[in-house]
């Protein structure tokens, strides 16, 4: 099995922890490594404790690792918060002298600030660290220089100078810590892509043309990405005054024929719930991109959680059908973004794509998604009516004919009241039951086209791990690292509403079932228990705002 390495940078906000980490990731991808990064930051513009880690290998990789091979403490006082991540072989490069060295790892005092001042500014300290790492991991300086030029543009010369300073220092003083790694020769057309960017590319390639959002961490990345693509891809991207306005505007756009979506996190999603119900009764197909973070209220605004699953499934008042998808990787964020637009249009209902901070803001090495083509579903629209258009006709599938506003002879009423087939408000019991049942039939019609749960592992496995969303990566990485012949398989649930009844058949033959969730109350477990015969023997949860790491899951499994 290929060796896996992790490099981590830590320091205060304002010194380029993220940009340094992204540069390192891009350099590693340019060499041909598989990369998975992860960053943590407090809700501060300056100061605090920020980290960016890059896990990489020459083979397959599903998640970042917990143990660190090379740690940079850009300013004093940061490495001390990561003692549990160090091994006896960890090199800790810190710009400080301390009386007591760590009990694990090798602490080396590196004059990062002085070196950066010699280059010309302290803001290049992060690039000096990249130079140190590049020497220790035998990277090609020409490839590194090319990536620096690409990332920093007009500031490239200064950053190349900083990189070279780090390289020379490591060559003179840290050669004892050279790593045993042979960089591959490179893989063409691979990019560093986070979950928000992947969602954005899926929206574009899936034919999305209207996106609105009010900035809210950790969903803001999708808004910024799509806003920057407006002219090139003929998009309408609206930053409205609040989440109520955002959802209302998008529902109007969808009603008028746009393939529309909104993006937000928990607190913003709370303000969108009236629109979800409105889309439910008026049968407007619209996508909600919900990127979860810990609550309640503001909670931990820059950390991660799977705590919004039940809320997403039960969002909006009253009973109406909705589809809730949960991508388990950055690639699935792309795929489900495009698919959600098709599902919303085809079945005329709200579709939620539930992600979280860990998935949305972590980046991996992926194929160039700008070149990954998707064929959007073509939905039949009534071109002309006879003056008696039944917009909400009672059909066997639950899906009624649709016409755009202003279509000759196909006028109809759309309001928030319960209604008859023409859209006229109705309160009698027969009409109410008929429309509720009609709308509910959409879920049965949609089920064959929803992402199935995926089973990973040996068919001889006797222990099944059930997970969803971003937890799938750490689970699959843990199984990859376990010794050959281990008894585990993993089932990744990708459509979290409606629940596929086939999941019962997939789980029933395992003597031991373990659910793993990044929330306190095991919310998917609750959903599965409510829909199928499902009785896990063990439940593992984590709810401190941090993702699971494969190493901690291995300890749980063995």
CATH code: domain of residue 489? 3.40.50.920
Residues 463 and 519 in one domain: yes
Radius of gyration of the chain (CA): 26
pLDDT over 90 at 331, yes or no: yes
Interior angle at CA 528, CA 526 and CA 529, nearest 5: 65
Residues 9 and 84 in one domain: yes
As a whole-number percent, the residues of the chain with pLDDT over 70 amount to 99
Task: Compute the residue count for the chain.
Answer: 558
For 236-305, the DSSP string reads EEE--SSHHHHHHHHHHHHHTT--EEEEE-HHHHHHTHHHHHHHHHHT--EEEEEEE---STT-STTS--
Interior angle at CA 358, CA 357 and CA 360, nearest 5: 60
Express the helix, strand and coil content of the chain in percent, nearest 5 each: 40, 20, 40
Residues 227 and 336 in one domain: yes
Residues 553 and 481 in one domain: yes
Report, as an integer, the average pLDDT of 222-242: 97
Residues 100 and 26 in one domain: yes
Residues 108 and 19 in one domain: yes
pLDDT in tens, 356-367: 999 999 999 999
- pLDDT reported for residue 459: 86
**Closest C-alpha among 249, 199, 541, 546 to residue 352:** 199
For residue 226, how many other CB atoms are within 10 A of its CB? 26
Report, as an integer, the average pLDDT of 72-100: 93
Interior angle at CA 86, CA 84 and CA 91, nearest 5: 155
Helix (H/G/I), strand (E/B), else coil: 521? coil
pLDDT over 80 at 312, yes or no: yes
Residues 342 and 242 in one domain: yes
pLDDT over 70 at 537, yes or no: yes
Q: Do β-strands 5-13 and 47-57 pair in parallel, antiparallel, or remain unpaired? A: antiparallel
pLDDT bucket at 378, cuts 50 / 70 / 90 = confident
CB crowding 234-253: b at 16 or more within 10 Å, else e: ebbbbebeebbbbbbbbbbb
Determine if the pTM surpasses 0.75.
yes
pLDDT over 80 at 137, yes or no: yes
Tokens 């979800």 belong to 276
pLDDT over 80 at 209, yes or no: yes
Tokens 């990708």 belong to 494
- pLDDT reported for residue 189: 82
Report, as an integer, the average pLDDT of 248-276: 97
Report, as an integer, the average pLDDT of 412-420: 94
CATH number at residue 205: 3.40.50.970
Rounded (10°) angle between helices 156-173 and 125-136: 50
- What CA–CA distances, in Å, run from 428 to 281, 314, 397? 16, 26, 23
The count of structural domains within the chain is 4
Report, as an integer, the average pLDDT of 431-454: 97
For residue 501 the two structure tokens come to 């009844």
Q: Residue 358 belongs to what domain range?
A: 193-371
Report, as an integer, the average pLDDT of 68-90: 95
Residues 265 and 305 in one domain: yes
- pLDDT reported for residue 139: 96
- pLDDT reported for residue 324: 98
| Domain boundary, last residue among 320, 338, 371 | 371
- pLDDT reported for residue 101: 80
Spacing of C-alpha 198 from chain mean position: 8
- pLDDT reported for residue 1: 79
Return left, alpha or beta for 180; rule: phi > 0 is left, psi -120 to 50 is alpha, else beta.
Answer: beta
- pLDDT reported for residue 186: 66
For residue 230, how many other CB atoms are within 10 A of its CB? 12
Give the sign of the dihedral formed by CA 449, CA 454, CA 459, CA 461.
negative
Query: Residue 493 forms beta bridges with which residues?
Result: 468
- pLDDT reported for residue 325: 98
pLDDT bucket at 99, cuts 50 / 70 / 90 = confident
pLDDT bucket at 46, cuts 50 / 70 / 90 = confident
H or E stretch covering 557? helix 550-557
Does residue 202 contact residue 337 with C-beta atoms inside 8 Å? yes
Report, as an integer, the average pLDDT of 485-495: 97
For residue 432 the two structure tokens come to 């109410």
Residues 263 and 411 in one domain: no
pLDDT in tens, 167-185: 999 999 999 999 998 888 7
H or E stretch covering 53? strand 47-57
Residues 235 and 134 in one domain: no
Residues 171 and 228 in one domain: no
pLDDT bucket at 340, cuts 50 / 70 / 90 = very high
| 52 φ, ψ (degrees, to nearest 5) | -145, 120
The residues, ordered by sequence, that sit 6+ positions from 198 with a Cβ below 8 Å of its Cβ are 330, 331, 333, 334, 337, 366, 369
**Closest C-alpha among 259, 252, 177 to residue 211:** 259
Spacing of C-alpha 521 from chain mean position: 21
**Closest C-alpha among 10, 144, 12 to residue 70:** 10
CATH number at residue 59: 3.40.920.10
Tokens 């010369």 belong to 157
| Domain boundary, last residue among 426, 449, 472 | 449
**Closest C-alpha among 440, 449, 346 to residue 401:** 346
| Domain boundary, last residue among 188, 212, 239 | 188
For residue 426 the two structure tokens come to 């109705």
The residues, ordered by sequence, that sit 6+ positions from 111 with a Cβ below 8 Å of its Cβ are 95
CA distance 404 to 49: 52
**Closest C-alpha among 24, 85, 77, 13 to residue 51:** 13
Residues 157 and 197 in one domain: no
Specify burial of residue 231 (Cβ count, 10 A radius: 0-12, 13-18, 19+): exposed
As a whole-number percent, the residues of the chain with pLDDT over 90 amount to 93
For residue 520 the two structure tokens come to 């306190």
CA distance 312 to 309: 5
- pLDDT reported for residue 188: 67
């Amino acid at each position: 099995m290929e060796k896996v390495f992790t490099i981590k940078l830590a320091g205060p906000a304002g010194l380029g922890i993220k940009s340094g980490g992204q540069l390192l990731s891009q350099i590693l991808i340019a060499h041909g490594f598989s990369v998975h990064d992860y960053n943590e930051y407090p809700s501060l513009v300056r100061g605090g404790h920020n980290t960016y880690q890059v896990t990489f290998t020459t083979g397959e990789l599903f998640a970042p690792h917990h143990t660190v091979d090379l740690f940079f403490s850009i300013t004093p006082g940061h490495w001390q918060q990561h003692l549990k991540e160090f091994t006896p072989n960890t090199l800790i490069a810190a710009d400080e002298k301390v009386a007591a060295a760590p009990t694990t790892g090798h602490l080396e005092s590196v004059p990062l600030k002085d070196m950066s001042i010699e280059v010309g500014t302290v803001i290049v300290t992060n690039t000096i660290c990249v130079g140190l790492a590049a020497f220790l991991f035998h990277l090609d300086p020409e490839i590194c220089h090319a990536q620096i030029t690409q990332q920093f543009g007009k500031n490239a010369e200064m950053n190349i100078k900083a990189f070279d300073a780090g390289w020379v220092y490591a060559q003179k003083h840290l050669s004892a810590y050279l790593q045993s790694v042979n960089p591959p020769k490179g893989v063409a057309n691979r990019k560093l892509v986070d979950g928000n960017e992947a969602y954005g590319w899926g929206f574009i390639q899936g034919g999305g043309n209207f996106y609105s959002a009010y900035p809210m961490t950790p969903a803001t990345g999708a808004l910024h990405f799509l806003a920057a693509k407006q002219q090139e891809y003929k998009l309408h991207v609206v930053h409205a005054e609040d989440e109520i306005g955002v959802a209302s505007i998008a529902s109007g756009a969808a009603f008028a024929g746009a393939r529309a979506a909104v993006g937000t996190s928990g607190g913003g999603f709370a303000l969108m719930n009236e629109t979800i119900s409105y889309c439910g009764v008026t049968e407007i197909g619209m996508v909600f991109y919900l990127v979860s973070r810990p609550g309640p209220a503001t909670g931990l605004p820059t950390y991660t959680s799977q705590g919004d699953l039940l809320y997403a499934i039960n969002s909006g008042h009253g009973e109406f059908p909705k589809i809730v998808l949960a991508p388990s990787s950055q690639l699935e964020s792309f795929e489900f973004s495009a698919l959600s637009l098709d599902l919303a249009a085809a079945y005329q209902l709200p579709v939620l794509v539930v992600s979280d901070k860990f998935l949305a803001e972590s980046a991996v090495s992926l194929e160039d998604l700008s070149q990954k083509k998707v064929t959007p579903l073509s939905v039949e629209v009534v071109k002309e009516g006879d003056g008696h258009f039944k917009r909400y006709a009672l059909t066997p599938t639950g899906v009624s004919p649709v016409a755009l506003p202003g279509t000759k002879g196909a006028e109809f009423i759309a309001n928030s009241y319960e209604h008859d087939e023409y859209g006229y408000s109705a309160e009698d019991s027969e009409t109410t039951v008929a429309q509720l049942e009609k709308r509910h039939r959409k879920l049965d019609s949609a089920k064959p086209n929803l992402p199935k749960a995926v089973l990973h592992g040996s068919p001889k496995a006797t222990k099944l791990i059930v997970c969803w969303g971003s937890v799938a990566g750490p689970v699959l990485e843990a199984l990859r690292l376990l010794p050959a012949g281990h008894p585990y398989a993993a089932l990744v649930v990708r459509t979290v509403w409606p629940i596929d009844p086939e999941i019962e058949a997939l789980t029933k033959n395992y003597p031991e079932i373990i659910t793993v969730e990044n929330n306190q109350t095991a919310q998917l477990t609750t959903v599965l228990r409510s829909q199928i015969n499902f009785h896990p023997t063990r439940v593992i949860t984590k709810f401190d705002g941090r993702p699971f790491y494969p190493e901690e899951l291995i300890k749980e499994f063995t």
